[in-house]
Amino acid sequence: MKVSSKGSDVKDVNLAAQGQDLIDWAAREMPVLGLIRQRFTKDQPLKGLRLAACLHVTSETANLMLTLKAGGADLALCASNPLSTNDAVASALASHHAVKTYAIRGEDNDTYYEPMDDGADLVSVLHKSRREQLPQVIGGTEETTTGVIRLRAMAEHGVLAYPIVAVNEADTKHMFDNRYGTGQSTIDGIIRSTNVLLAGKTFVIAGYGWVGRGLASRAKGHGADVVITEVDAVKALEAAMDGFRVLKMDDAARVGDIFVTVTGDVNVLDRKHFEVMKDGAILANSGHFNSEINLKALDELATGVRNARPLVQEYRLADGRRLFLLGEGRLINLAGAEGHPAAVMDMSFANQALCAEYIAKNAGQLERKVYDVPADIDSEVARLKLHAMGIAIDTLTEEQRRYLSSWEEGT
């Protein structure tokens, strides 16, 4: 049942109580955001501002929304992926917290695109078809690797109409969220959707960036034989020295039992790879879009497609081999599991909240370009997280500070 509640589009408002429990559960693991929320309630740094967010609608995102709302913002949230929405959370946001929420899990294309008009993300919608609204925008933040790449390209071409802070570039974001969050939750999504044993399997990972590194070490921990494919010589070398086999995808395709793409690139698994894969190979994507696996080619090669179990589509090929696609090629850590654990989203979203405050404070003074997260915000998030974890660290003595900043002493 699709319900419009106070301007929102959510599946079922009766799920709100269940959603609130999930939001509260995540909050237990999000102490940094909790501290920011307390301060925002007092300081009201976002008062009078309208804030639109396009994010996976999960219990962690709900905690970010509540923090921004506590800061005084008037909020609207839409889903950034039709399979990642938690309907109960969406209902709680819409009906308990008056956050305008447009998110229904598994929604068809029309419903998914309806709140955003043309299906691109918020930034591209604004730049393409809502240009009249651009002068009202003070600035934006970007959460993902792929998004930052696109926004930098827009800035380079002089078409970015307002400043953006690249939250993804904060150390307290990508070192933890991409590596530990996606690493663990991707494994979780694969196991939940297939119940496959990883020990002894050949586990092929395309891309050895932050996500790939996290995923590789976790797959290894499960006893898998991990193979890495890369296009970047330094990353490939790092993978080899971290103890992984590095192969071209053309060769890896022949030996892999499980394939996961985490590159942000297109057609990383392509027709020629499907043609040589083993019977029973499992294909998953945890990169940004469902374009990392060439689904059109897979469809064309298949003589039949059926659901083998929820979230697992069996593609039968002409020679009888079967390939199993997880979560329709969308992000498996969200489609098959619950996305990143709250403890890592705590840091990513603390950056989001503090960067929203930074943009509000510096309204009109920032240029139309992509900014890194200010270093003091990054270290503040790390400091608060350590504090919340009960971990104390050393500080430099005066002698050490002098020594480290001097070029005359030492050697």
Residues in the site for ligand NAD, rule: CB under 6 A? 144-146, 174, 178, 182, 206-212, 229-232, 235, 262-265, 268, 286-288, 331, 333
Instruction: Compare residues 87 and 338 and give the one whose CB is closer to ligand NAD.
Output: 338
Closest CB to ligand NAD among residues 169, 380: 169
Residues 6 or more apart in contact with residue 411 via CB below 8 angstroms? none
Min dist CB 163 to ligand NAD, Å, is 21
Among residues 54, 40, 119, the alpha carbon closest in space to that of 85 is found at: 54
Smallest gap from residue 301 Cβ to ligand NAD (A)? 20
Q: Least CB distance from residue 194 to ligand NAD, whole Å?
A: 17
Report the nearest approach of ligand NAD to the CB of residue 374 (Å): 21
What is the C-alpha radius of gyration for the chain, rounded to an integer number of angstroms? 22
SS3 151: helix
Q: How far is the CB of 236 from ligand NAD (least distance, A)?
A: 8
Helices (H), 242-318: 249-255, 271-274, 295-301
Neighbouring C-beta atoms of residue 91, cutoff 10 Å? 26
SS3 52: strand
In the complex, least distance from residue 147 CB atom to ligand NAD, rounded to whole angstroms: 7
Other CB atoms within 10 A of residue 209 CB: 18
The strand pairing partners of 372, in sequence order, are 166
* DSSP SS3 for 221: helix
Nearer to ligand NAD, 69 or 213 (CB): 213
Interaxial angle between packed helices 183-194 and 210-221, expressed in degrees from 0 to 180 and rounded to the nearest 10: 50
Residue number with CB closer to ligand NAD (188 or 230): 230
99 near 76, Cβ under 8 Å? Answer: yes
Tell me whether residue 202 or residue 263 sits nearer to ligand NAD (CB atom). 263
| Smallest distance from ligand NAD to CB 45, Å | 27
**Nearest-angstrom CA–CA distance, 409 and 399:** 11
Rounded alpha-carbon distances, angstroms, from residue 360 to 43, 142, 236: 13, 15, 41
Choice between 21 and 232, CB closer to ligand NAD = 232
Smallest gap from residue 344 Cβ to ligand NAD (A): 10
Our CB check for ligand NAD shows the closer of 101 and 263 to be 263
DSSP state of 328: G
Is 86 or 145 the residue whose CB approaches ligand NAD more closely?
Answer: 145
* Spatial CB neighbours of 75, under 8 Å, sequence gap ≥ 6: 50, 51, 52, 53, 65, 68, 69, 99, 100
| Shortest Å, Cβ 404 to ligand NAD | 29
- Which CB sits closer to ligand NAD, 46 or 148? 148
Beta-carbon contacts of 240 under 8 Å, excluding residues fewer than 6 positions away, are: 228, 246
Give the residue at shortest CB distance from ligand NAD. Answer: 209
Measured between alpha carbons, how far apart are the two ends of the chain, in Å?
Answer: 72
